[in-house]
A = this chain, B = another copy of it.
Protein backbone atom coordinates (compact mmCIF):
# COMPACT_ATOMS: atom_id res chain seq x y z
CA UNK A 1 0.00 0.00 0.00
CA UNK A 2 2.88 2.37 0.77
CA UNK A 3 4.43 1.52 -2.62
CA UNK A 4 1.13 2.24 -4.37
CA UNK A 5 0.31 5.60 -2.73
CA UNK A 6 1.50 8.76 -4.49
CA UNK A 7 3.31 11.02 -2.05
CA UNK A 8 4.73 8.18 0.05
CA UNK A 9 8.20 6.78 -0.50
CA UNK A 10 9.23 3.48 1.01
CA UNK A 11 12.87 3.91 1.98
CA UNK A 12 13.86 0.91 4.07
CA UNK A 13 12.87 -2.39 5.61
CA UNK A 14 13.85 -3.94 8.93
CA UNK A 15 13.23 -7.60 9.75
CA UNK A 16 14.94 -10.06 12.04
CA UNK A 17 14.03 -13.47 10.59
CA UNK A 18 17.35 -14.98 9.55
CA UNK A 19 16.06 -16.67 6.39
CA UNK A 20 14.99 -13.29 4.98
CA UNK A 21 18.19 -11.37 5.73
CA UNK A 22 19.31 -9.47 2.64
CA UNK A 23 16.33 -10.55 0.54
CA UNK A 24 14.63 -7.88 -1.52
CA UNK A 25 11.42 -6.63 0.07
CA UNK A 26 9.54 -6.88 -3.24
CA UNK A 27 10.09 -10.61 -3.33
CA UNK A 28 9.25 -11.14 0.34
CA UNK A 29 5.88 -9.39 0.08
CA UNK A 30 4.98 -11.33 -3.06
CA UNK A 31 5.61 -8.79 -5.82
CA UNK A 32 7.00 -10.23 -9.02
CA UNK A 33 9.91 -7.82 -8.99
CA UNK A 34 12.74 -6.57 -6.82
CA UNK A 35 12.23 -3.00 -5.59
CA UNK A 36 15.80 -2.27 -4.52
CA UNK A 37 15.07 -2.39 -0.78
CA UNK A 38 16.91 -5.19 1.05
CA UNK A 39 15.60 -6.48 4.37
CA UNK A 40 18.09 -5.48 7.02
CA UNK A 41 18.22 -7.04 10.52
CA UNK A 42 20.15 -4.11 12.00
CA UNK A 43 17.61 -1.46 12.95
CA UNK A 44 20.15 1.29 13.74
CA UNK A 45 21.79 0.73 10.38
CA UNK A 46 18.51 0.86 8.43
CA UNK A 47 17.66 4.11 10.18
CA UNK A 48 21.04 5.71 9.52
CA UNK A 49 21.04 4.70 5.86
CA UNK A 50 17.44 5.64 5.09
CA UNK A 51 16.44 8.45 7.50
CA UNK A 52 12.65 7.92 7.35
CA UNK A 53 10.16 10.48 8.68
CA UNK A 54 7.89 7.72 9.92
CA UNK A 55 8.08 3.98 10.53
CA UNK A 56 5.32 1.35 10.58
CA UNK A 57 6.25 -1.10 13.32
CA UNK A 58 4.64 -4.44 12.48
CA UNK A 59 6.65 -7.21 14.08
CA UNK A 60 4.70 -8.41 17.16
CA UNK A 61 1.48 -8.23 19.25
CA UNK A 62 2.82 -7.40 22.71
CA UNK A 63 3.69 -3.90 23.94
CA UNK A 64 6.74 -5.23 25.79
CA UNK A 65 8.03 -6.76 22.55
CA UNK A 66 7.29 -3.60 20.56
CA UNK A 67 8.66 -1.01 23.00
CA UNK A 68 12.35 -1.65 22.23
CA UNK A 69 11.99 -1.08 18.49
CA UNK A 70 9.67 1.89 18.99
CA UNK A 71 12.10 3.46 21.44
CA UNK A 72 15.05 3.15 19.04
CA UNK A 73 13.00 4.77 16.27
CA UNK A 74 11.83 7.59 18.52
CA UNK A 75 15.37 8.28 19.73
CA UNK A 76 16.33 8.80 16.10
CA UNK A 77 13.54 11.38 15.74
CA UNK A 78 11.24 9.07 13.76
CA UNK A 79 7.44 9.05 14.19
CA UNK A 80 6.04 5.54 14.75
CA UNK A 81 2.79 3.80 13.86
CA UNK A 82 2.62 0.42 15.59
CA UNK A 83 0.21 -2.39 14.78
CA UNK A 84 1.19 -4.31 17.94
CA UNK A 85 -2.23 -5.05 19.47
CA UNK A 86 -1.31 -3.92 22.96
CA UNK A 87 0.13 -0.63 21.67
CA UNK A 88 -3.42 0.47 20.77
CA UNK A 89 -3.89 1.35 24.44
CA UNK A 90 -0.82 0.47 26.54
CA UNK A 91 -1.83 2.99 29.23
CA UNK A 92 -3.77 0.46 31.30
CA UNK A 93 -1.66 -2.72 31.38
CA UNK A 94 1.70 -0.96 31.03
CA UNK A 95 1.40 2.53 32.50
CA UNK A 96 5.14 2.92 33.14
CA UNK A 97 6.02 1.78 29.62
CA UNK A 98 3.36 4.08 28.13
CA UNK A 99 4.59 7.00 30.22
CA UNK A 100 8.19 6.37 29.26
CA UNK A 101 7.37 6.15 25.53
CA UNK A 102 5.24 9.28 25.79
CA UNK A 103 7.99 11.42 27.31
CA UNK A 104 10.61 9.94 25.01
CA UNK A 105 8.42 10.96 22.05
CA UNK A 106 7.84 14.43 23.51
CA UNK A 107 11.54 14.99 24.08
CA UNK A 108 12.36 13.96 20.50
CA UNK A 109 9.46 15.93 18.99
CA UNK A 110 7.74 12.93 17.40
CA UNK A 111 4.49 10.99 17.81
CA UNK A 112 3.62 7.35 18.43
CA UNK A 113 0.26 5.75 17.62
CA UNK A 114 -1.00 2.19 17.95
CA UNK A 115 -3.63 1.14 15.43
CA UNK A 116 -5.20 -1.87 13.75
CA UNK A 117 -8.54 -3.35 12.73
CA UNK A 118 -9.06 -4.89 16.15
CA UNK A 119 -8.02 -3.66 18.63
CA UNK A 120 -7.89 -0.13 17.24
CA UNK A 121 -11.07 0.14 15.22
CA UNK A 122 -13.99 -2.35 15.17
CA UNK A 123 -14.47 -3.10 18.88
CA UNK A 124 -13.28 0.27 20.21
CA UNK A 125 -12.99 3.35 17.95
CA UNK A 126 -16.19 2.52 16.06
CA UNK A 127 -18.01 1.83 19.34
CA UNK A 128 -16.77 5.09 20.88
CA UNK A 129 -17.76 7.05 17.77
CA UNK A 130 -21.31 5.68 18.08
CA UNK A 131 -21.56 6.58 21.77
CA UNK A 132 -21.27 10.24 20.73
CA UNK A 133 -24.97 10.28 19.79
CA UNK A 134 -26.04 9.00 23.23
CA UNK A 135 -27.10 11.09 26.22
CA UNK A 136 -26.81 8.02 28.45
CA UNK A 137 -25.66 4.40 28.12
CA UNK A 138 -26.55 1.30 30.11
CA UNK A 139 -24.67 -1.40 28.22
CA UNK A 140 -22.44 -1.81 25.18
CA UNK A 141 -22.28 -5.16 23.38
CA UNK A 142 -20.08 -5.68 20.35
CA UNK A 143 -19.43 -8.85 18.44
CA UNK A 144 -16.89 -9.70 15.78
CA UNK A 145 -17.30 -13.07 14.06
CA UNK A 146 -14.38 -13.41 11.71
CA UNK A 147 -12.65 -15.81 9.38
CA UNK A 148 -9.06 -16.69 10.29
CA UNK A 149 -8.42 -18.44 6.97
CA UNK A 150 -6.26 -15.65 5.48
CA UNK A 151 -3.83 -15.78 8.43
CA UNK A 152 -0.54 -17.66 8.67
CA UNK A 153 0.77 -20.22 11.15
CA UNK A 154 1.69 -17.87 14.02
CA UNK A 155 -1.85 -16.46 14.34
CA UNK A 156 -3.49 -19.88 13.83
CA UNK A 157 -1.29 -21.49 16.47
CA UNK A 158 -2.16 -18.83 19.05
CA UNK A 159 -5.86 -19.62 18.44
CA UNK A 160 -5.38 -23.39 18.77
CA UNK A 161 -6.49 -24.13 15.21
CA UNK A 162 -5.98 -27.82 14.31
CA UNK A 163 -5.62 -29.06 17.91
CA UNK A 164 -7.77 -31.59 19.72
CA UNK A 165 -10.07 -30.06 22.35
CA UNK A 166 -7.83 -31.56 25.07
CA UNK A 167 -4.69 -30.05 23.58
CA UNK A 168 -6.57 -26.73 23.28
CA UNK A 169 -7.39 -26.81 27.00
CA UNK A 170 -3.78 -27.67 27.87
CA UNK A 171 -2.67 -24.79 25.67
CA UNK A 172 -4.94 -22.43 27.60
CA UNK A 173 -3.31 -23.66 30.84
CA UNK A 174 0.28 -23.29 29.66
CA UNK A 175 -0.30 -20.01 27.86
CA UNK A 176 0.38 -21.12 24.28
CA UNK A 177 -3.28 -20.56 23.34
CA UNK A 178 -3.99 -16.89 23.67
CA UNK A 179 -7.20 -16.12 21.80
CA UNK A 180 -7.65 -12.47 20.95
CA UNK A 181 -5.07 -9.94 22.13
CA UNK A 182 -6.83 -6.65 22.67
CA UNK A 183 -9.98 -6.97 24.81
CA UNK A 184 -8.42 -5.24 27.82
CA UNK A 185 -7.10 -2.48 25.57
CA UNK A 186 -10.43 -1.97 23.75
CA UNK A 187 -12.43 -1.97 26.98
CA UNK A 188 -10.22 0.51 28.77
CA UNK A 189 -10.17 2.70 25.67
CA UNK A 190 -13.99 2.74 25.62
CA UNK A 191 -14.17 3.27 29.39
CA UNK A 192 -11.74 6.18 29.32
CA UNK A 193 -13.63 7.77 26.42
CA UNK A 194 -17.03 7.70 28.18
CA UNK A 195 -15.76 8.17 31.74
CA UNK A 196 -16.40 4.71 33.18
CA UNK A 197 -14.06 3.16 35.74
CA UNK A 198 -13.80 -0.57 35.11
CA UNK A 199 -13.65 -2.69 38.29
CA UNK A 200 -12.83 -5.99 36.67
CA UNK A 201 -12.86 -7.82 33.35
CA UNK A 202 -13.97 -11.44 33.09
CA UNK A 203 -12.68 -13.35 30.09
CA UNK A 204 -13.61 -16.77 28.73
CA UNK A 205 -11.98 -18.80 25.97
CA UNK A 206 -13.75 -21.84 24.50
CA UNK A 207 -12.60 -24.14 21.72
CA UNK A 208 -14.71 -24.00 18.55
CA UNK A 209 -14.88 -27.71 17.73
CA UNK A 210 -15.47 -28.35 14.05
CA UNK A 211 -18.21 -30.71 12.82
CA UNK A 212 -16.68 -30.80 9.33
CA UNK A 213 -13.31 -30.86 7.61
CA UNK A 214 -11.96 -27.33 7.19
CA UNK A 215 -8.77 -26.67 5.18
CA UNK A 216 -6.76 -23.51 4.51
CA UNK A 217 -3.35 -23.07 2.89
CA UNK A 218 -1.77 -23.23 6.38
CA UNK A 219 -3.78 -25.87 8.22
CA UNK A 220 -6.33 -28.67 7.93
CA UNK A 221 -8.90 -29.19 10.66
CA UNK A 222 -10.59 -32.59 10.83
CA UNK A 223 -14.07 -33.09 12.35
CA UNK A 224 -13.70 -33.11 16.15
CA UNK A 225 -10.63 -30.86 16.01
CA UNK A 226 -10.50 -27.20 16.96
CA UNK A 227 -11.29 -24.65 14.22
CA UNK A 228 -10.64 -21.65 16.44
CA UNK A 229 -11.18 -19.91 19.74
CA UNK A 230 -14.37 -18.28 21.01
CA UNK A 231 -13.02 -15.51 23.20
CA UNK A 232 -15.35 -13.25 25.16
CA UNK A 233 -14.83 -10.53 27.73
CA UNK A 234 -17.17 -8.68 30.09
CA UNK A 235 -16.25 -5.44 31.88
CA UNK A 236 -17.96 -4.45 35.15
CA UNK A 237 -18.66 -0.96 36.44
CA UNK A 238 -20.45 -0.58 39.80
CA UNK A 239 -21.00 -4.35 39.91
CA UNK A 240 -22.87 -4.30 36.61
CA UNK A 241 -21.64 -5.88 33.35
CA UNK A 242 -21.55 -2.80 31.11
CA UNK A 243 -19.30 -3.78 28.20
CA UNK A 244 -19.44 -7.19 26.51
CA UNK A 245 -17.05 -7.93 23.66
CA UNK A 246 -17.55 -11.24 21.91
CA UNK A 247 -15.06 -12.48 19.35
CA UNK A 248 -15.26 -16.05 18.01
CA UNK A 249 -12.34 -16.53 15.60
CA UNK A 250 -12.06 -19.61 13.37
CA UNK A 251 -10.99 -20.85 9.95
CA UNK A 252 -13.61 -21.39 7.23
CA UNK A 253 -16.70 -20.59 9.34
CA UNK A 254 -18.94 -20.66 6.25
CA UNK A 255 -18.45 -24.46 6.04
CA UNK A 256 -20.78 -24.73 9.04
CA UNK A 257 -23.13 -22.03 7.81
CA UNK A 258 -21.73 -19.37 10.14
CA UNK A 259 -22.15 -15.84 8.79
CA UNK A 260 -19.16 -13.64 9.66
CA UNK A 261 -19.71 -10.01 10.57
CA UNK A 262 -19.30 -7.14 13.00
CA UNK A 263 -22.07 -5.79 15.18
CA UNK A 264 -22.45 -3.15 17.84
CA UNK A 265 -25.46 -2.71 20.10
CA UNK A 266 -25.78 0.11 22.62
CA UNK A 267 -28.63 0.16 25.11
CA UNK A 268 -29.10 3.72 26.27
CA UNK A 269 -30.67 6.98 25.20
CA UNK A 270 -31.17 6.26 22.40
CA UNK A 271 -30.71 2.54 21.73
CA UNK A 272 -28.39 1.96 18.78
CA UNK A 273 -27.41 -0.96 16.63
CA UNK A 274 -25.12 -1.23 13.67
CA UNK A 275 -23.96 -4.36 11.88
CA UNK A 276 -22.13 -5.41 8.75
CA UNK A 277 -21.58 -8.72 6.96
CA UNK A 278 -19.06 -10.10 6.28
CA UNK A 279 -16.65 -8.74 8.91
CA UNK A 280 -14.30 -5.85 8.11
CA UNK A 281 -11.31 -7.94 6.96
CA UNK A 282 -8.65 -7.73 9.66
CA UNK A 283 -5.48 -7.91 7.60
CA UNK A 284 -6.57 -5.45 4.92
CA UNK A 285 -8.08 -3.04 7.44
CA UNK A 286 -4.98 -3.04 9.63
CA UNK A 287 -2.80 -2.31 6.61
CA UNK A 288 -5.06 0.53 5.50
CA UNK A 289 -5.30 2.07 8.97
CA UNK A 290 -1.52 1.92 9.42
CA UNK A 291 -1.00 3.86 6.17
CA UNK A 292 -4.06 6.15 6.37
CA UNK A 293 -3.04 7.35 9.84
CA UNK A 294 0.33 8.65 8.57
CA UNK A 295 -0.88 12.25 8.07
CA UNK A 296 -2.62 12.22 11.48
CA UNK A 297 0.54 11.07 13.23
CA UNK A 298 2.75 13.58 11.38
CA UNK A 299 0.28 16.37 12.29
CA UNK A 300 -0.13 15.36 15.95
CA UNK A 301 1.49 17.05 18.92
CA UNK A 302 4.57 15.09 20.07
CA UNK A 303 3.78 12.17 22.39
CA UNK A 304 2.07 8.78 22.61
CA UNK A 305 -1.46 8.89 21.20
CA UNK A 306 -4.43 6.57 20.86
CA UNK A 307 -6.91 6.39 17.97
CA UNK A 308 -9.40 8.31 20.14
CA UNK A 309 -7.02 11.22 20.78
CA UNK A 310 -6.58 12.08 17.10
CA UNK A 311 -9.09 13.04 14.41
CA UNK A 312 -10.35 9.91 12.62
CA UNK A 313 -8.24 8.58 9.76
CA UNK A 314 -9.79 8.56 6.31
CA UNK A 315 -8.86 6.76 3.10
CA UNK A 316 -6.06 8.63 1.30
CA UNK A 317 -7.28 8.85 -2.29
CA UNK A 318 -5.02 11.73 -3.34
CA UNK A 319 -1.30 12.46 -2.95
CA UNK A 320 -0.38 11.69 0.65
CA UNK A 321 1.34 15.07 1.04
CA UNK A 322 -1.97 16.86 0.38
CA UNK A 323 -3.32 15.54 3.72
CA UNK A 324 -0.68 17.37 5.75
CA UNK A 325 -1.19 20.89 7.09
CA UNK A 326 0.82 23.52 5.20
CA UNK A 327 3.57 23.97 7.80
CA UNK A 328 4.30 20.28 8.09
CA UNK A 329 4.39 19.82 4.34
CA UNK A 330 7.12 22.43 4.01
CA UNK A 331 9.12 21.03 6.88
CA UNK A 332 9.13 17.52 5.48
CA UNK A 333 9.88 18.64 1.95
Contact = CB atoms under 8 A, between A and B. Distances in A.
Given A135-B1, A270-B284, A308 B315 contact: no
A152 B196 CA distance: 36
B135 A284 contact: yes
Oligomer: number of copies: 2
A164 B316 CA distance: 46
Given A132-B289, A315-B137, A273 B277 contact: yes
A189 to B, nearest CB: 10
Contacts of A126: 129
B311 A308 contact: yes
B128 A314 contact: yes
Interface in A96-152: 117, 121, 125-126, 128-129, 131-137
B314 A132 contact: yes
Contacts of A135: 1, 4, 284, 287-288, 291, 315
15 contacts: A117-B133, A125-B312, A132-B312, A133-B280, A133-B289, A133-B292, A135-B287, A136-B317, A194-B314, A194-B316, A194-B318, A270-B284, A270-B285, A275-B276, A312-B312
Interface in A239-295: 262, 268-270, 272-277, 280-281, 284-285, 287-289, 291-293
Interface string A1-24: 100100000000000000000000
A293 B135 CA distance: 12
Contacts of A193: 314
Q: Lowest 7 A-B CB distances belong to which pairs?
A: A195-B318, A133-B285, A132-B313, A193-B314, A131-B315, A274-B276, A134-B315
A323 interface: yes
Interface string A59-89: 0000000000000000000000000000000
